Amino acid sequence: MSSITAKGPNNNVNHVRGASQTPSSSAQEASTGSIQDLTPRAAAQWYKKLGWKPIPVGTNKVPMVKGWTTKEYTDDEIKQWSPAWQVGVVTGDASGFVAVDIDSAKALTFALEFLEPTPLIAYTSLGPDNFRRQHWWYRIKPGLGITNRSKIKIDGEKIALDLRADHGYVVVPPSLHASGMKYEWKTPPWELDLDTVPEFDPTALPIVNHEAYRASEVRGGRPDPTTSDIAEEYAQRYLDRMGPATENRGGDTHTFNVCCAICVGYNFPYETALELLSQWNKTCLPPWPEEDLRAKIGNALRYANEPWGGRRHDDFWPWLEQRSRMAQIRSGSLPEHEESQHGCGSGLTDENWTQTRLSALWRHAEGK
């Protein structure tokens, strides 16, 4: 996508990725201050002017809405974000950039050896070794299909270095971390010529994707993980039924059981399981930090007693039958205590059974 010239909050000229040169009113209100003086909402509008794809996130770094991978926010929608929301940016083709997440001094040493230096760096939170974690940003060519990757192993030791690319996201300045620390740019992107940011070399880091990383840590006999809209709907219903985990009320065991069901019982790919569980995690009291939730997922993959895929329902007809039964019960045409007596063996022909359930499902979808 071609670049154009625009000005950032400090009136610095910058080349941005295919967007209007006129900032929004909320961004103009903060135009005299630095990035740290902007609200997340105002910053989101500036990121949008760069051609990036901003999304609202919580201080726990979890997206505040479902469908964030495809949602495109307008300026008016961003103005309606809650003041408590922070801001993230979808990485990969959605914004034309990837971010390398460097979470330890050892990972930084490794990145300095394998990665080209970049002027676009964001500082995040403090690690346990008092290391200021960092995101190194790189341009990408469209259509490369770079996937999210996590961790590397050097002589059997894991390095805290991830890659956020297609279908991924990172929290960006001036968001507030759960620890109380603000995310900060070394130099804000609108003060740089983004054409000078180096392109990411997919072969630069010997890191593996989430699925391959977890494959070395799961118990044996796992079939290839897959997903489907129907399976995800069943999984979402399961999460709704299970409810949130609550601290000091068995929340640890509850979370482990939920992770076992989603990761093993449904045998979803890692990123699908993480997205479903991250949405559920927002309801927990309090929500788990992301690193703790990932640890729960890892434990589920290693220690769950469920059969792989034992909860899966990808076939259309059982799904349709359940949907139509629910519609009939809600409409009063099928008493709830008679639900178990109806189905394919209820005396209806296959044709009438199909028509009955299709019509009930249609009525339910129309709100009748």
What confidence score (pLDDT) does residue 136 get?
97
What confidence score (pLDDT) does residue 164 get?
87
User: Angle 290-303/251-260 helices, nearest 10 degrees?
Assistant: 60
Give 325-333 contacts, CB < 8 A, sequence gap 24+: 325/357, 326/364, 327/360, 327/361, 327/363, 327/364, 328/360, 330/364, 331/360, 331/363, 331/364, 331/368, 333/360
User: Is the pLDDT assigned to residue 365 strictly greater than 60?
Assistant: no
Give the list of residues 6+ apart from residue 217 with CB closer than 8 angstroms, or none. Answer: 298, 301, 302
Q: Hey, is 343 helix, strand or coil?
A: coil
What confidence score (pLDDT) does residue 151 get?
63
Which two tokens mark 292? 């703790």
| Residue 227 vs residue 86, higher pLDDT | 86
Pairing of strands 97-102, 132-139: antiparallel
How is the chain split into domains, by residue range?
3-196, 213-303, 316-365
Pairing of strands 97-102, 157-164: antiparallel
Q: Which amino acid is at 57?
A: V
Average pLDDT taken over every residue of the chain: 76
User: Is the pLDDT assigned to residue 84 strictly greater than 50?
Assistant: yes
Q: How confident is the model at residue 13 (pLDDT cuts 50, 70, 90)?
A: very low
- Residue that has been written with the tokens 């759960």 in this structure: 178
Count Cβ atoms within 10 A of the Cβ of residue 343 and give its class: 0-12 exposed, 13-18 middle, 19 or more buried: middle
pTM confidence score = 0.55
- Residues 266-276, mean pLDDT to the nearest whole number: 87
Q: Are 56 and 64 in contact (CB under 8 A)?
A: yes
Give the list of residues 6+ apart from residue 70 with CB closer than 8 angstroms, or none. Answer: none
User: Is the pLDDT assigned to residue 208 strictly greater than 50?
Assistant: no
